[in-house]
Structure 1
Amino acid sequence: METNQDNKAYDGADKAQTDAPLKGIFSQVRETARGQTVDLKTVIEAFGNRAFGPILLLCSLFLLTPLGMLPGVPIAFGLIVILFALQLLFRRPHPWMPEILAKVKITPKALDRADKFAGPWLDRIDNVVKPRAEWLARGPMLLIVAIVSILLAITMAPLGVVPFGVVVPAFIIGLLGLGITGRDGVFIALGLLLSFSVPVMIMNLVL
């Protein structure tokens, strides 16, 4: 039987992450890593069953850094998004993680680069994120977010071969993750609206 805590897991993060989603996530990752190379499975486990919003944000942030331009990285993070989106879609009370995630290493250098790249924006973004239109960040709307996240993650394969091609879907995934983590329906609505631009990008790429 699902407890109230389990139900809240799909609504976002705890209060600290809700008040400052981006800083809260980076703090959690750094606390987990403790200056050492850490695998992605360990990082996700540290979030417990509140992992969905933070994992979308983490994938987005890393894909928006130079790390996202490395061959195979967009597809790897896309698969991670799909894995967690499917679990959200089927309302698993506790996230399941395959052992392969233990092979995805996050080095202190990569974390420092991501933090340095995104750092100047963290406080600014956290200052505008707040619980509002929360009905967009919970319940049935999360199923829509899960489906859109899966579709965006699938686009990582074709767009990953184009320089900076994954920037747009990664940014949108970040908006959705930010909205879930901060329980801010405005960011979720914006992400859902912007998602319609991705098929246009792929059509332009094909044609």
Structure 2
Amino acid sequence: MTPDQVAPRSLTGLLDTLDPENPATGAEHRHHDAHEGLTIQDMLDRVGARSFGAALLVPSLILVSPLSIIPLMPTIGGLVILTISIQAFFGRDHLWLPGFLATRRLSGAQLKRAVNYLRKPAAWLDRNSRHRLRFLSASPMDRIALLAVMVVAATWPFLEILPMFTSISAGGVALIAFALMVRDGFVLIAGYTVLGLSLAVVAALISGIF
């Protein structure tokens, strides 16, 4: 990752870094042309090596979009989110991904589809977020948020056949990641609510099986 990359400060800014039609995401030094697609490593490089909140947003937003129906996408996204959140939990300064995850690629058309789908909700969240209940997103409370993300993301590989479930729970992860990035405790509570409902569904499924 490029350590001097400045992380986006909003959801709209993050989507701009992934948009193949944004001039800023065209061919540039050390990166693939966004029109030809980006690997997961490319995407994370664009949001910065030090911002774990922004890094968590990348795979969670992809899973919120219609791309979640692509086979194995929930599993790959879940593993990426687990890897990022574990490193954030233990206080690493820079993010690292194993090669089999870092080299996974989305085409330019897939990226554009996801970005367009997420533009309106991202703009709404940007307009309505602000610094509120900041203690909920500060250390050590942020570790609770990361732990919740890890627990939920770990269920996705086993629920691959339920893409709608993955999209909804990924929305909760995205809310938590966004809240950590902008320090908004209200958004964090909303994310906890979605993840809590997701875990309730998982518990109901397990109890039904056994």
Q: 1:128 to 1:48 in 2, by over 3 A?
A: same
Q: Superposed, which structure 2 residues align to 1:12-23 within 5 Å?
A: 17=9, 21-23=10-12
Could you say what secondary structure the match of 1:35 adopts?
A: helix
Alignment RMSD, CA only?
2.0
Classify 1:199/1:102 alpha carbon distance in 2 versus 1 (closer, same or farther; 3 Å): closer
**What TM-score, normalized by structure 1, do the two folds share?**
0.84
CA distance, structure 1, for counterparts of residue 162 and residue 189 of structure 2 = 27
1:95-110 alignment runs, 5 A limit: 95-110=95-110
Aligned-partner Cα distance in 1 for 2:135–2:163: 37
Alignment of 1:162 onto 2:199? no
1:196 aligns with 2:196: yes
Q: Alpha carbons of 1:58 and 1:35: their partners in 2 closer, same or farther (altered >3 Å)? A: same
1:22–1:122 contact (8 Å) kept in structure 2:
yes
Q: Distance in 2 between matches of 1:205 and 1:27?
A: 38
The CA distance in 2 between the partners of 1:95 and 1:160, in whole Å, is 26
Q: How does 1:41-60 map to 2 (within 5 A)?
A: 41-60=41-60
CA 1:163/1:137 → structure 2, altered by over 3 Å: closer, same or farther? closer
Q: Are 2:15 and 1:26 aligned?
A: yes
Conserved in 2, the CA contact under 8 Å of 1:88 and 1:142? no
Runs (5+) with no aligned partner, structure 1: 1-5, 7-12
Aligned counterpart, 2:63: 63
- SS of residue paired to 1:132: coil
* Equivalent residue number for residue 35 of structure 2: 35
Q: Which residue of 2 aligns with 1:3?
A: none
Tell me by how many angstroms 1:68 deviates.
Answer: 0.4
Q: Distance in 2 between matches of 1:163 and 1:147?
A: 22
1:163 CA drift (Å): 4.3
Query: How many equivalent pairs are there?
Result: 192
Distance in 2 (CA, whole Å) between partners of 1:61 and 1:95 is 18
- Note if 1:89 corresponds to 2:89: yes
Contact map agreement 1:89 1:147 (CA 8 A) in 2: yes
- Aligned partner letter, 1:184: D
Q: For residues 114 and 83 of structure 1, what CA distance do their matches in structure 2 show?
A: 22
Distance in 2 (alpha carbons) for counterparts of 1:101 and 1:202 = 25
TM-score between both structures, scaled by the size of structure 2: 0.83
